Structure formats: structure tokens, C-alpha cells
Amino acid sequence: MRIRSATPADAAALLKIYAPYVRDTAVTFEYEVPGEEAFARRIRATAAQYPYLVLEEEEGILGYAYAGAFKTRAAYDWAAETTIYLRRDARKKGYGRMLYTALEDALRERGILNAYACIASTDVEDERLTNASRRFHERMGYRLCGTFHQCGYKFGRWYDMIWMEKMLGEHGYAPAPVRKPEADGAETETPR
């Protein structure tokens, strides 16, 4: 098992993981499954500035996690939004923790100090959305910092969106500039 940087060539495999979340859940508020080329462009654009990681074993990719801009203004350079998706049969096995820990480490290496997760949430769990993502982030040390009530409409129902945050580093005076990802495609071996 290993964690490595994603490439646009991974688009088809990552799309197989993501598509059921779009089609069957309110985990993402996206309505239509993107095409493979569009997904490859997303990977390329994200990886140019932020870490985009996949967790794979011999049988294939189990999940992926990436970061993106929290906001585009320069004052927000030290903050990033985080995202994770696991293959449905790979959940509740510790893979999410493994992948998110690697993502947080990569963000720290680049000088990112704040990680934010934007999560679909509900007061009443249903077959389309549970609060598993919120519970996962709480276990990872994130804390609730905001709720937007009934802001996402999908499958004939309104869902909330919450923001959770985790401080990844110390906030000193005049922080060092954030570093871009290295283009060498370095990978990290992860023991199972």
C-alpha cells in the first residue's frame, strides 16, 4: 500500500470513486458526474498548486484526498480547503485517516497553517447523507466553525453545509511564503 501524488492519468480511476457520491448521495452538491477529461483537468489544475494524493494497493486506488484554495486573495495563502473520497468498500478501515494524515503533512511541508473542510450536513440522517464525514473530521482533530442552514438542495431535500477547521501550524509574525508542490511526483510508502 502506498500514498502517491495523483496525475491526470488517474482520472478514470478517481472518477469511479467519485461518481457514486454524485449520483447517489448528498455528500457532494454536484448534480452531474463530470467527464473523464474534465476530471483530469481538475486534477492538473489542483496539483499545480496543492497536494493531490491517492492511496493505492496492488488491486487499485482506494481513495484520494486533495487541498485547494480556501479563498483566492493573498491574505488567505496560509489556509487551504481539504477534500477526501474513499471507495465505498474501503471505508471504516483506517484508510481515510492514513490519507488525510498524509495530506495534512504535505500541507504543513508547504507552509499551510489552517485546514478547512466544507461538509454537507443534516439534522436528520437519511440514505443520501449521514454525518459520517463530520464525525471523521472530529476524530481527525477538526472543530466546527460555521453552519450554513439549508443551503444545498439535492434529491428534493435541503441540506446544511458546515465548515470545520484544524490548525496545522503556529501563526507567527510574518509567516514564510507558502511553497508550491514539487513537480517530481514524490511518493510516500505507507506501511499497512
CA distances from 111 to 2, 70, 78, 121, 147 (A): 24, 14, 7, 29, 27
Question: Domain for residue 191, yes or no?
Answer: no
Q: Is residue 108 part of a domain?
A: yes
Cell numbers at residue 57, please? 494497493
What is the reported pLDDT for 182?
A: 66
Q: Return all residues near 59 (Cβ < 8 A) that are at least 6 apart.
A: none
What per-residue confidence (pLDDT) applies to 174? 87
Q: Other C-beta atoms within 10 Å of 26: how many? A: 22
Is residue 117 situated within a structural domain?
Answer: yes
For residue 186, how many other CB atoms are within 10 A of its CB?
A: 10
DSSP secondary structure, the chain, as one string: -EEEE--GGGHHHHHHHHHHHHHH-SSS---SPPPHHHHHHHHHHHHTTS-EEEEEETTEEEEEEEEEES-SSGGGTTEEEEEEEE-GGGTTSSHHHHHHHHHHHHHHHHT--EEEEEEEE-SS--SS--SHHHHHHHHTT-EEEEEEEEEEEETTEEEEEEEEEEE-S---SSPPPPPPPPTT--EEE---
Residue at 152 is within a domain: yes
User: Does 6 fall in a domain?
Assistant: yes
Domain count for the chain: 1
Domain of 57 in residue numbering reads as 2-170
What does each of the 192 residues of the chain score in pLDDT, given as a tens digit?
Answer: 999 999 999 999 999 999 999 999 999 999 999 999 999 999 999 999 999 999 999 889 999 999 999 999 999 999 999 999 999 888 888 899 999 999 999 999 999 999 999 999 999 999 999 999 999 999 999 999 999 999 999 999 999 999 999 999 999 898 899 987 765 444 443 333
Residue 190 included in any domain: no
Q: Identify whether 125 is part of a domain.
A: yes
CATH number, domain containing residue 157 = 3.40.630.30
CA 112 to chain centre: 15
176 found inside a domain:
no
